[in-house]
A = this chain, B = another copy of it.
């Protein structure tokens, strides 16, 4: 019996090369651990635009809706900078998020002990760091209408709309509280309720969901600017952070950078559980398409590999196998295996993208 279906969308830049290593890991799980996945592949982002003139073809969208899990590499690159807004590579990713209704974006920021010295922050500030940012992913200013560039009088005006309904806030708050229960039992919600009415509603709804459904979880609220500051000052004060789409975009990037290497960080974007109990799900590394190093074997595949570990955990209920993969990554790092992005000033010999894949397979 098949463990489930996976749609792979390597995308642009370093996407294809890091994804190639993930495929090897998936094959290993098939051969050695009896997890047989139906794997198929398709195009997204600039790659899809080049082939079809759109950053996500309708057939690809339909296949993503059917898959148990979608693994995405990265989208975008300078080649596509001048494209019209509506066909930019990013629109392909945003369409997936929106149409699959992946409202809860889980971004763990974890500091690997072997890499703590890579952080621009002091070791004691980041060593052992383990926080989870839950970012709302299908609403807010990313999708609100009206939007666009309009002419008013004799000049143009750029408009976007921040919009959140009570139910949109409540469902992502639930995701955060559920995660907190399995982790440190604390949620900090961030908005700008002091200047934005959408933030007032956000705070009120999160508080209500807490009081009615999760009184056992410790809840605090912080303005997003203070939150950004506190993340930089003493990130270990946090367990789970829940925030909106735009604040989540910035705050999760700050949190990612704290850990020392972006090349390490996975993410999961989950929807509501479907009839079969599985949520719609898309997994992607937090790093971008890094066009400057694409095709040179320099990219670090770990973020993408750890994204597959998240898929094992959240889509296929294979927590033990996810732990196994994460442990293999930790071992390889502890052994000093390094892609170029993980090299300090000392300068150990770096391995290639494929070399890192080899090492992780060996550790498995």
Q: Do A224 and B250 touch across chains, with their CB atoms under 8 A apart?
A: yes
CA A250 to CA B249, docked complex, whole Å:
12
Among B88, B152, B164, B194, point to the contact of A165 (Cβ < 8 A). Answer: B152
Looking at the assembled complex, report how far the CB atom of A76 sits from the nearest CB atom of chain B, in whole angstroms.
7
Which of B76, B200, B258 is in CB contact (< 8 Å) with A158? Answer: B200
Q: Would you call A160 and B229 a contact (CB within 8 A)? A: no
With A120-B232, A121-B120, A125-B120 as given contacts, are A161 and B159 in contact (CB-CB < 8 Å)? yes
A and B contact pairs by CB, cutoff 8 A, 24 listed: A94-B195, A120-B232, A120-B234, A141-B141, A141-B196, A142-B195, A152-B165, A155-B167, A156-B165, A156-B166, A157-B163, A157-B201, A158-B162, A158-B197, A159-B161, A159-B162, A160-B161, A160-B162, A162-B162, A192-B246, A229-B262, A232-B258, A250-B250, A254-B254
Does A101 sit at the interface, judged by CB under 8 A? Answer: no
Give the size range of A's interface with the partner. 35 or more
Interface of A is mostly: helix
| A residues in contact (CB < 8 Å) with B | 76, 85, 88, 90, 94, 120-122, 125, 141-142, 144, 147-149, 152, 155-167, 192, 194-202, 224-226, 228-229, 232-234, 246-247, 249-251, 253-254, 256-258, 262, 288
Alpha-carbon distance between A76 and B90 when the two chains are bound, in angstroms: 39
- What B residues does A262 contact at CB under 8 A? 229
Q: How far is the CA of A142 from the CA of B195 in the complex (A)?
A: 6
Q: Provide the residues of chain B in CB contact with A254, threshold 8 Å.
A: 228-229, 232, 254
Residues of B within 8 A of A228 (CB): 228, 250-251, 253-254, 257
Asked if residues A163 and B159 are in contact (CB atoms below 8 Å), the reply is yes
Please name the residue on chain B nearest to A153 by beta carbon. Answer: B165
